[in-house]
Chain A
């Protein structure tokens, strides 16, 4: 299993190595565009990492190589493991590029980028890793069930649906009075007010989640999600005709 995982990782790196230099450049260029808003900056880094992790799948789809690799020694579950490992690897590379880009921007632009400083912390790194991994955990089963483009479509529609649901639920999660942005304003307000509510909720979560018990529970939850996503992917891929 480990030999096969290594072979898959080597294969994905071999296939994508022509993209690594452009990817580094893209990280710098795109993050420079979004540096004025730390949320947009973080979201951009996560999106770029997602794209980088999905590149081998897009290439495999382009050249229809699934039959080739499923005919090679090993089980399909091993191919699924390979994808998850590669995703994890790219998240770490993406984090390194993200933090490096943030550090360079802070160093060069100084006061203009002071708001990015919190991202250069354990919390910033965890937010990046957690979001990138959650995106992978949601996308990969969809990819193994539907193939790349259709899977991406299902993932995007699912993500959009989730955003709409969160947008509608956010007024009910924000206290009617107190430190929040105000329920009435959110319920009747435009999209920006809902985003403000969402940010407020995330801010609250940021305070609460550092409780040690909740950290452990969150870690356990992520492990369960990884296992569930993996089992789902294996079940989908095992039943697919390639």
Chain B
């Protein structure tokens, strides 16, 4: 299989936080969602891929190019949207593009103009007067205007109205039709993932929880509810996170079938997982309010 992005054993140490041994791969022509609670390391991963922050160890390959040894070749194939798009506030959209365009050999001026029109970006307004949503649209227009094979986006849909959010997701899906473009985006909005993501990578506390297809997550992972008496040392191992209540527990399992088999006849209810639940449980675990194992 040909990969647009391969991340191997990526490690970054900060005082008080370590992104530890992150590995995942995104095949060409697919969309991957990067999820996790706040502070899990999603933005750091995207910045590490772009070499905006320096890794302690690990390797990143973009469309087969090593992102350090062949940095220019690798980055020429990437379009990116950062969480806080860093633009010169006193320039207008076209002025900002004229600053960026000379860095890309394949910059398509006509495409950029067309995208600006489609995104309703006001040509005469200074970037500093743009709303967050408009700044995101401008960043996206720039990311899409040079024939990038890999689009990296950090929380692209936050701050966007539902109409444009849906348009954006449809555009991302349409990008894949050429079979060579891939997208990695981090988000908190799980409905976006359910709508477009083919793969999901989940991180928590700087550790990789899983990286697999969305369908496998939705098929294998589940929410389990039951009485407190079910929670024994043996059954607790089935759960990634547990929330205890006065009358029982609600837990997250990564192996629905094994859980179903082991808890059969013990009054436990196994429910289909929503990605919202996943982030909620992992976030709770992050706050230390549960007693589950990972």
Q: Footprint of B on A, CB under 8 Å?
A: 3-4, 6-7, 10-11, 14-15, 18, 59, 63-68, 70-76, 78, 238-242
- Docked complex: B245-276 residues within 8 A CB-CB of A: none
Chain B positions 150 through 172: 1 when the CB is less than 8 Å from some CB of chain A, otherwise 0: 00000000000000000000000
Given A11-B99, A14-B98, A74:B86 Cβ within 8 A = no
Task: Determine if B53 is an interface residue (Cβ-Cβ < 8 Å).
Answer: yes
A71-B75 in contact (CB<8A): yes
B135 smallest CB distance to A (angstroms): 12
Closest A residue by C-beta to B139: A68
B82-A68 in contact (CB<8A): yes
B50-A70 in contact (CB<8A): yes
What separation, in Å, do the CA atoms of A65 and B86 have in the docked complex? 5
Task: Determine if B47 is an interface residue (Cβ-Cβ < 8 Å).
Answer: yes
Q: Which one of A18, A74, A240, A242 contacts B75 once the chains associate, using CB atoms below 8 Å?
A: A74
Chain B positions 48 through 86: 1 when the CB is less than 8 Å from some CB of chain A, otherwise 0: 001111100000000000000001110110101010111
Binds A, one of B87-95, B198-206, B217-225: B87-95
Task: Report the count of interface residues on B (CB-CB < 8 A).
Answer: 30
B104-A73 in contact (CB<8A): yes
Chain B positions 14 through 53: 1 when the CB is less than 8 Å from some CB of chain A, otherwise 0: 0000000000000000000000000000000001001111
Q: Footprint of A on B, CB under 8 Å?
A: 47, 50-54, 71-73, 75-76, 78, 80, 82, 84-91, 95, 98-100, 102-105
Closest B residue by C-beta to A242: B52
A239-B54 in contact (CB<8A): yes
B47-A74 in contact (CB<8A): no
What separation, in Å, do the CA atoms of A240 and B105 have in the docked complex? 27
B212 smallest CB distance to A (angstroms): 27
Q: Which one of B47, B50, B76, B88 contacts A15 once the chains associate, using CB atoms below 8 Å?
A: B88
B83 smallest CB distance to A (angstroms): 10
Closest A residue by C-beta to B82: A67
What separation, in Å, do the CA atoms of A68 and B91 have in the docked complex? 15
What separation, in Å, do the CA atoms of A14 and B101 have in the docked complex? 12
Interface-centre pick from A18, A68, A72, A239 (highest chain B CB count, 10 A): A68
Q: Which one of B71, B84, B88, B91 contacts A74 once the chains associate, using CB atoms below 8 Å?
A: B71
Chain B residues near A7 (CB-CB < 8 A): 102-103
Closest B residue by C-beta to A76: B51
Chain B residues near A74 (CB-CB < 8 A): 71-72, 75, 103
B86-A75 in contact (CB<8A): no
CB-defined A-B contacts under 8 Å, sample of 30: A3-B102, A3-B105, A6-B102, A7-B103, A10-B99, A14-B98, A14-B99, A15-B91, A59-B88, A65-B86, A67-B47, A67-B50, A67-B52, A67-B82, A68-B86, A71-B52, A71-B75, A72-B75, A72-B103, A73-B72, A73-B76, A73-B103, A75-B72, A76-B51, A78-B72, A240-B54, A241-B47, A242-B47, A242-B52, A242-B53
What separation, in Å, do the CA atoms of A31 and B73 have in the docked complex? 47
Chain A residues near B75 (CB-CB < 8 A): 71-74
A20 smallest CB distance to B (angstroms): 15
B54-A71 in contact (CB<8A): no
A67-B54 in contact (CB<8A): no
A71-B50 in contact (CB<8A): yes
Closest B residue by C-beta to A11: B99
Chain A residues near B47 (CB-CB < 8 A): 67, 241-242
What separation, in Å, do the CA atoms of A181 and B275 have in the docked complex? 82
What separation, in Å, do the CA atoms of A7 and B97 have in the docked complex? 12
What separation, in Å, do the CA atoms of A18 and B90 have in the docked complex? 10
